[in-house]
């Protein structure tokens, strides 16, 4: 069973500074936040602390109880870590935007070079090109 199936079957809730959120809500949270807003980084840090606490030896809790609690916290942590895929998506979107801007600039420079090449032609060459274009227009 994957962690998302476990989370939906067990109805996992994640504690934040503003209350609890569901697995679905995690996708809407930012990776980090500077103000007092819920974010994935803070949730992951808190779960990591809980995992460390639960992994310590207990002389009053049974081993199966400790393992069960640890496994739930670990599954929650794995879910939050998986949702960090948003970081890769953000990087990919940023790179795509940069590539698009670069390609747009290249197209602008190509158009500028074509304009320069056209402007360097003599008046007679330009008139001949114009006449050729007009005669092609008559054919259609």
Same domain, 70 and 13: yes
Predicted pLDDT at 58: 62
Query: What's the predicted TM-score (pTM) here?
Result: 0.59
Helix (H) or strand (E) holding 93: helix 85-119
Tokens of 34: 């500077």
Same domain, 29 and 60: yes
Same domain, 76 and 18: yes
Tokens of 9: 């079957």
Same domain, 78 and 9: yes
Cα end-to-end distance, the chain, whole Å: 65
Whether the pLDDT of residue 137 is over 60: the answer is: yes
Residues 6+ apart with CB under 8 A from 74: 51
Same domain, 71 and 104: no
Residue of 32, 1, 37 whose CA lies nearest to 16 = 37
Q: Kindly state the average pLDDT of the residues 71-100.
A: 90
Same domain, 26 and 69: yes
Give me the number of domains the chain comprises: 2
Same domain, 73 and 112: no
Same domain, 71 and 109: no
Task: Supply the range of the domain harboring residue 135.
Answer: 91-139
Q: What is the pLDDT of residues 10-55, one digit of tens each?
A: 999 999 989 999 999 999 999 888 888 999 999 999 999 998 887 6
């Amino acid at each position: 069973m994957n962690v998302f199936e476990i989370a939906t079957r067990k109805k996992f809730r994640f504690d934040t500074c503003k209350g609890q959120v569901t697995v679905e809500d995690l996708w809407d949270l930012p990776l980090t936040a500077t103000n007092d807003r819920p974010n994935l980084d803070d949730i992951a840090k808190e779960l990591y602390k809980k995992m460390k606490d639960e992994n310590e030896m207990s002389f009053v809790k049974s081993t199966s109880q400790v393992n069960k609690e640890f496994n739930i916290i670990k599954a929650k942590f794995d879910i939050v870590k998986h949702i960090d895929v948003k970081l890769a998506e953000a990087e990919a979107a940023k790179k795509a935007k940069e590539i698009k801007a670069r390609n747009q600039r290249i197209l602008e420079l190509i158009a500028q070079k074509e304009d320069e090449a056209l402007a360097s032609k003599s008046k007679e060459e330009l008139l001949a090109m114009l006449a050729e274009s007009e005669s092609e227009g008559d054919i259609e």
